[in-house]
Chain A
């Protein structure tokens, strides 16, 4: 099918874009990489009178460092982040997650901001943002605000972005020495949205875990942090980590639903196994980084 008619706007500045979004309210939608929005338009699952194309706004693309964070502009393509060697050392969990997103042709167009704003429960980047306590920078005519990932993802495809607002950047904290990360997932075919996935970050000082982050995707309407398991990990010797036991505790934080792809029980089993793998890999990466 073809999309319903719309009026096309291609502003060149953030100010013009938020001006258009303010002017047209709920009748307008930002168009980023189009890899999720255009299918929805073409299937007539949604329609808007105005599309505000962000692709001409140069200021929305790019990767920079600011105050212990890597700041990624909303229109930075997935592929640019995947191929940027600095991301592999500064935000390794993000680098590990990138190749799991769709196919290279999708990553060529898809954007960091689009994935986070779209908030698909089975998407990688919301889980990474949740695991790392990323901050999301939201801009409107009245200014810029920052929202913590924990408050940003509010439900399936629902975020803290209000009408008239634009996600302008994502800020990922850079962890210190002794940190190690892993990201893994399970999908039936390469490039499909995953049945379940998990990101793990561990930081150790003198062999003892001082910081832990575990987030699941596909295991609920929003990314799920395994806070009990994270707390239980503090002070534990990284060399004698019982990954299987921690994984079982971690998955207890989730409450998945079954669908045509996998039952809830099957998802839980898969997620437990993935968490064990990711904990083991993150621990060995942390030890290697000591």
Chain B
């Protein structure tokens, strides 16, 4: 089938490519835009490793075709770093709070958590658990991740004390 030309902004950089319509946004980002933080595990929407922000909306990049993102603005985990290359707030919180072990799930988590905290800046423990339910982690047991979300929320609010907050009692 014939290829089509697509344009999009990926982490602020203009990208252009020729794609078959069946090429997923995830594959386009990885193969044509050097955004290899976009991880693919299940490729059918369940694991969340491929989550990216499309025009402000957290989406599974394995469930969109690149042609559908023509003209869109995409943010991947690479785009969450500070302009000087240091870790962004959510990324840093994951490091501080041991929110990762092997790191495979981490890019999807930091993207999802960034979108989640944009809508809910001061989430309860229950809301955090619900908010991260769409991302699977095979290593951590989630406790460090929950702490990282609390820590990131507190940092954004200017009160970075949540690192020691207990996640017990639920």
Contacts and interface: CB of A to CB of B under 8 A. Distances in A.
A41 B27 CA distance: 15
Interface stretch (A100-108, A116-124, A147-155, A223-231): A100-108
Interface stretch (A4-12, A129-137, A170-178, A258-266): A4-12
Interface string A162-193: 00000000000000000000000000011100
Nearest to B129: A190
Interface string B39-80: 000011100100100000111101111011000000000000
B22 A6 contact: yes
A7 B1 contact: yes
Interface stretch (B81-89, B92-100, B130-138, B153-161): B130-138
A152 B10 CA distance: 42
Interface in A38-73: 38-39, 41-43, 51, 53, 55
Contacts of B133: 103, 189-191
B54 to A, nearest CB: 9
Nearest to B42: A39
Contact of A39 (B21, B45, B116): B45
A8 B65 contact: yes
A105 B58 contact: yes
A38 B65 CA distance: 9
Contacts of B60: 35, 105-106, 109
B37 interface: no
Nearest to A45: B44
Contacts, number: 81
B4 interface: yes
A61 to B, nearest CB: 14
A3 interface: yes
Contacts of B68: 10, 34, 53, 55
Interface residues of B, number: 30
Given A38-B64, A104-B58, A109-B60, A5 B20 contact: yes
A2 B131 CA distance: 29
A64 B130 CA distance: 30
A277 B33 CA distance: 51
Contact of B22 (A2, A55, A105, A108): A2
A1 interface: yes
Interface of B is mostly: mixed
Contact of B62 (A5, A42, A190): A42
Nearest to B21: A8
Nearest to A38: B63
A10 B134 CA distance: 29
Interface in B1-54: 1, 4, 20-22, 24, 27, 43-45, 48, 51
Given A2-B22, A105-B112, A190-B133, A38 B4 contact: no
Contacts of B115: 104-105
A8 B67 contact: yes
A190 B127 CA distance: 12
A5 B63 contact: no
Contacts of A104: 58, 115-116, 131, 134
Nearest to A34: B63
A55 B69 CA distance: 11
A43 B62 CA distance: 12
B4 A8 contact: yes
Contacts of A55: 68
Contacts of B4: 8
A53 B43 CA distance: 20
B57 A39 contact: no
A35 B60 CA distance: 9
A103 B63 contact: no
A105 B59 contact: yes
Contact of A105 (B1, B21, B51): B51
Interface of B: 1, 4, 20-22, 24, 27, 43-45, 48, 51, 57-60, 62-65, 67-68, 112, 115-116, 129-131, 133-134
Interface of A: 1-8, 10, 34-35, 38-39, 41-43, 51, 53, 55, 102-106, 108-109, 189-191
